Amino acid sequence: MWGSSSSSSAKKSRSKSKSSLNGVIDETAAEALFAEFVDVEDPTVIEIEGIGKLSEQLDIDPVSDIRILVLLWKLGSKEKPAQITKEEFMGGCYNLRVDSIEKFRNLLPSLDTGFLDRDEFKDFYKFCFHFNREGPDRTLDKEMVVALWNMVLRGRIPDERLDSFCAFTKIQKSYPRINLDQWTSFLDFCLECEDLSTYDESISAWPVLIDEYVEYMEKK
């Protein structure tokens, strides 16, 4: 009897270890959740359609609600644009202590970018560029960039700077697409140069896009 009880206990212990990650989450539940949103042709990743389904279950709009991007960033999406792998998803679930839609919903208030410090926000901002790339492209269409700037930076930098830079970008025929350096430089420029009257192009190390924006504003 004692031997039988001991064996049963050991089996239960092994079973438990298979269905949890150090007791932090229910691994089986997290894997089942991942499976709800996987790509039909590749069950190892969740792509845009699956992200849309996840957003729907969380009652958020993936097109306009920045929280879905914050969630994907916190989950650790980084291997390829516009998707999250099973390994990234499971690791993110462990770090965030989530294994159900209910627990994901409980995370929503913490996904406000106002909770991110400057370095965290810079990392998230860079992620937004990479996540929205298409395939091997290293640049983003400027219409996409303007939409992302309004989504990601609204409330983080002064509205006047954001609106004027978006307006400037829209009319620039020489910049149909924006690269990563231009993308990251705009945020750094906003943080480091609050007053355009102090801008000195002769010693500027900013991309030409920034120089031209300052010229554009001086002529207004």
CATH number of 23-111: 1.10.238.10
Per-residue pLDDT of 1-60, as tens digits, reads: 223 333 343 333 334 434 455 668 999 999 999 999 999 999 999 999 999 999 999 999
Of 95, 93, 91, which is closest to residue 104 (Cα–Cα)?
93
Task: Provide, rounded to the nearest whole percent, the portion of the chain with pLDDT above 70.
Answer: 90
Q: Which CATH architecture fits 118-219?
A: Orthogonal Bundle (1.10)
Assessment of whether the complete model's pTM goes beyond 0.85: yes
Of the candidate ranges 115-119, 160-164, 198-202, 216-220, the one whose mean pLDDT is the lowest: 198-202
- The domain limits of the chain are 23-111, 118-219
Cα–Cα distance measured from residue 46 to residue 42, given in angstroms and rounded to the nearest whole number? 8
Each residue of 80-115: pLDDT tens digit? 999 999 999 999 999 999 999 999 999 999 999 999
Do 189 and 210 touch, CB atoms closer than 8 A? yes
Give yes or no on whether 23-111 and 118-219 have one common fold. Answer: yes
Non-local CB neighbours of 44 within 8 Å, separated by 6+ positions = 38, 85, 86
Closest alpha carbon to 44 in 96, 84, 77, 71: 84
